[in-house]
Amino acid sequence: MIKNILPLTGIAVLRFLGLFIVLPVISLYAVSFNASATMLGLAVGGAYLTQVIFQTPIGIASDRYDRKKIVMLGLFVFLVGSIICALAKNIELLVIGRLIQGAGAIGGVVSAQITDIVREEQRTKAMAIMGGGIFASFTLAMLIGPIIAANLGVGLLFSITAFLTLCSIILLYTKVPSTPKITYSFEGKPKWQDTLKDKNLWVINLSSFFEKALMTLIFVIIPLVIVQEFSWSEENLWKIYTPGAIIGVLAMAPASIIAEKYSKAKFVMFYGVAMFLIAYTCIALADIHIHTPKIWLFITGIMIFFIGFATLEPIMQSLASKYAKAHQRGAALGIFTTYGYIGSFVGGTAGGILYHQLGVEKVALLIVCICIFWILTLIFLKNPAKQKNVYLALDDYDKKKFKALNQIEGIIEWYVNENEKIIIVKYEAQIHTEEQIIQICKKFNKESN
């Protein structure tokens, strides 16, 4: 499994590192061009805006065409946008570059590609590895972005982004195999709109929005509070980010194990959101006495937030891929990722405004109320049944007969991987054993004709 997912994880990490590395300084860079408030907002959020627009259609396209080719196209678009930003001499060109960057929206496609090449039982572990890599790239970007910008200029950051994207393209071309050719067990023409009718996907998509919105918002608040209220120097921010990242990485593995090995994904979701609620409660209480704010309580809240974020990040992608049928994964993960980008856009835009209008305490209390609502929505989430797969040699079976499986309780779906010449039957482990599924499928053996 590791050999299969590491190249794709590397592509995701390099792309997100390039995207995140400019976040701490992009607003100051836009101001240096004497940008208006509107153009400044587009320079900061433009990439998220176009990712929102293109993520879902690109995900749908990846369900119809080779995902590898779609990822290659997206990376090329992102590379072009990064080069334009690096060469920008005015705010208009910078905004155009940022908008083009976002148009290369292949985050959901990379996730779908991983689900194509990794067996069902290993999917949460694979998503945890990718989520951990993205989480690490975010933290690294927050640490080195301001240092490089201060000493060498923001333009170089975009050049670094372009270089990292070029490395991703080379990695994709040389190390990632073409997407397996898969046929599916659906009746009639598959419709991506069906993903919008699934209650579980609605809850997960909403969770993606909340998680990314609250994550972006807290990274707007942290430097403002630390510098303006606690009078710390900007150079000391690493003292908060580094231990937080370490704690988050340590929290990620147990959460993934509990979700997958013990089939407690819903519990892990509740736990992760509860960490968000506790974190923002600590932040609110830290600032409740405006003249004597408690920095230790504020930092405690940030550490707890990192635990919540690291708990939720890999779990939600895995759940989105589990709730979606195989032929819908690209669309489902595209929509899931789109909700996350909308959340990032909203959180980043609203964070600064709310901080200046309401102050830390009221903002944090507002987020606590949102977390309570978020927890209530999770009540409607179905804990996914423990799923297992049986893999059968395609040449030994008459695949047309497998339609009969659609009528059997406990059979989730079946589909054919033409590239590997196998038939995959996904079933609920609480209802059937592997031996029972094999016995059922024996009736479809060519020798039984």
Which of 115, 182, 177 shows the shortest CA–CA distance to 333? 115
DSSP state of 262: T
Question: CB of 93 within 8 A of CB of 87?
Answer: yes
Structure tokens at 50: 């176009």
CATH of domain 1-177: 1.20.1250.20
Which of 179, 207, 206 shows the shortest CA–CA distance to 329? 179
The position carrying tokens 């919540």 is 308
**Bridge partners (DSSP) listed for residue 411:** 427
For 135, other C-beta atoms within 10 Å of its C-beta total: 22
- Which residues make Cβ contacts (< 8 Å) with residue 162, sequence separation at least 6? 18, 79, 82, 83, 86
At 187 the pLDDT is: 47
CATH of 387-443, one of 3.30.450, 1.20.1070, 3.30.70, 2.30.30: 3.30.70
Q: Return d(Cα 194, Cα 59) in angstroms, integer.
A: 14
Structure tokens at 207: 């969770």
Ranges for all domains in the chain classified under CATH 3.30.70: 387-443
Given CA atoms 352, 353, 356, 359 in this order, what sign does their dihedral have? negative
Q: Return d(Cα 447, Cα 189) in angstroms, integer.
A: 31
At 188 the pLDDT is: 47
For 289, other C-beta atoms within 10 Å of its C-beta total: 10
The position carrying tokens 């004597």 is 292
Q: Tens-digit pLDDT profile for the chain (449 aa)?
A: 667 788 888 898 898 898 888 877 777 677 778 877 678 767 877 888 888 888 778 878 887 888 888 999 999 999 999 999 999 999 999 999 999 998 887 877 887 787 777 765 576 677 767 877 887 787 788 778 878 877 888 889 999 999 999 999 999 999 887 777 665 544 445 555 555 667 888 999 999 999 998 987 887 777 778 777 787 766 677 778 778 878 887 888 888 788 877 778 899 999 999 999 999 999 998 876 666 668 889 999 999 999 998 888 878 877 887 777 766 766 777 788 888 888 888 887 777 678 778 888 889 999 999 999 999 999 999 887 777 888 888 888 888 888 888 888 888 888 887 767 788 888 888 888 889 988 888 888 876 65
The position carrying tokens 């049944």 is 385
Which of 255, 279, 277, 278 shows the shortest CA–CA distance to 268? 255
Q: Return d(Cα 114, Cα 109) in angstroms, integer.
A: 9
E strand residue ranges, 341-432: 387-393, 411-417, 422-428
Q: State how far Cα 282 lies from the chain centre.
A: 26
Cα angle 262, 266, 267; round to 5: 70
Question: CB of 321 within 8 A of CB of 409?
Answer: no
Ranges for all domains in the chain classified under CATH 1.20.1250.20: 1-177, 192-384
Q: Return d(Cα 220, Cα 349) in angstroms, integer.
A: 9
What is the topology classification, in CATH, of domain 192-384?
Answer: Growth Hormone; Chain: A; (1.20.1250)
E strand residue ranges, 324-421: 387-393, 411-417
Q: Return d(Cα 204, Cα 384) in angstroms, integer.
A: 12
At 99 the pLDDT is: 92
Q: Return d(Cα 165, Cα 80) in angstroms, integer.
A: 10
The CB-side HSE value for 295 (13 A sphere, CA atoms) comes to: 10
pTM, rounded to two decimals = 0.75
